[in-house]
Amino acid sequence: MTGSSDPETFPTPTIMPLGDSGLLVRFGSALTDAANRAAIVLAVALERDPIAGVVEIVPNLVSVLLRYDPWASAPAAIAGELRLRLFALGDTPVPGASWTIPTRFDGPDLDEVAAMLGMAAPDFVAAHNAKPLRVLATGFAPGFVYCGLHGEGLVVPRRTDVRPAVPPGSVLFAAGQTAVTATEMPTGWYVIGHTDFRNFDPAGAPPTRLRPGDMVAFEAAP
């Protein structure tokens, strides 16, 4: 997605209302690499070339939410402008910063996850860290990032029960993704490690550091 000169083809999106103050552009109903990349690229394109009447652009895992003022704007006009942007989507270059997140792989679920995948824990950690992951989206809680996607050999379902509270900096694993918490929160994902990296600072501008499309290398820390 970065540095390529060939415009890429993205999944055909659906434009649908989300209430009476939002339009959602969805590139699919399942999390795929192509749908996620399309959502990231569209959000960047809309930031560069804003649509009049749109007050907030929010990239999600496979969609982009466009909020508008229902007192002032008509969604039909916004949707028309959107379609023009979508035609040229493949030409949009996406900047992606590179990050290293030192992680202590000491989570309470590490051994269970490794066993589910038929590996010894150190082999799982090595496989997990083998290549950088893309920041797929921020969501659910302040600074909470989804990173992925892992290959088929590194996919486990979510846990059946929810841990009531895990601390900021928890490194979570499920559904072919690695997530990092930035606040204390409940989770149904496996806790595989912890990091001192903090992706949320309410006094910061912007308040989060990682952006969708950034590349994250997880690195085993002592």
Cβ proximity to another protein, 144 vs 173, nearer residue: 144
Contact pick of 8, 104, 155, 208 for another protein (by CB under 8 A): 208
Token digits for 97? 């910063």
Residue 19 phi/psi, 5° resolution?
Answer: 70, -160
CB atoms within 10 A of CB 138: 21
SS3 state at 10: coil
Side chain identity, residue 75: P
Is 48 a binding residue for another protein by CB under 8 A? The answer is no
Is 53 a binding residue for another protein by CB under 8 A? The answer is no
Mask: binding to another protein, 17-46, rule CB under 8 A, as x and -?
xxxxxx-x-x-xxxx-----------x---
Contact pick of 9, 106, 115, 140 for another protein (by CB under 8 A): 140
For residue 222, the minimal CB distance to another protein (Å) is 30
For residue 28, the minimal CB distance to another protein (Å) is 8
Is 169 a binding residue for another protein by CB under 8 A? The answer is no
Is 55 a binding residue for another protein by CB under 8 A? The answer is yes
**Burial classification of residue 76, based on how many CB atoms lie within 10 Å of its CB (0-12 exposed, 13-18 middle, 19 or more buried):** exposed
Is 78 a binding residue for another protein by CB under 8 A? The answer is no
For residue 192, the minimal CB distance to another protein (Å) is 20
Is 16 a binding residue for another protein by CB under 8 A? The answer is yes
For residue 182, the minimal CB distance to another protein (Å) is 8
Is 144 a binding residue for another protein by CB under 8 A? The answer is yes
> Where in the chain does DSSP place strands (E)?
14-17, 22-26, 54-59, 63-68, 98-104, 133-138, 145-148, 163-166, 170-174, 177-180, 185-187, 190-195, 215-220
How many residues of this chain bind another protein (CB under 8 A)?
A: 46
Q: Left if phi > 0, otherwise alpha if psi is -120 to 50, otherwise beta: which for 113?
A: alpha
Cβ proximity to another protein, 52 vs 115, nearer residue: 52
HEC secondary structure over 74-107: CHHHHHHHHHHHHHCHHHCCCCCCEEEEEEECCC
The number of angstroms, rounded, from the C-alpha of 113 to the middle of its chain's C-alpha atoms is 22
Q: What is the DSSP letter of 50?
A: P
Q: Which stretch binds another protein (CB under 8 A): 81-89, 95-103, 109-117, 195-203?
A: 195-203
Q: Give start and end residues of each alpha helix (H) in 88-221.
A: 110-116, 121-128
List residues near another protein by CB under 8 A: 16-22, 24, 26, 28-31, 43, 55-63, 65, 67, 70-71, 74-75, 137-144, 146, 182-183, 200, 202-203, 206-208
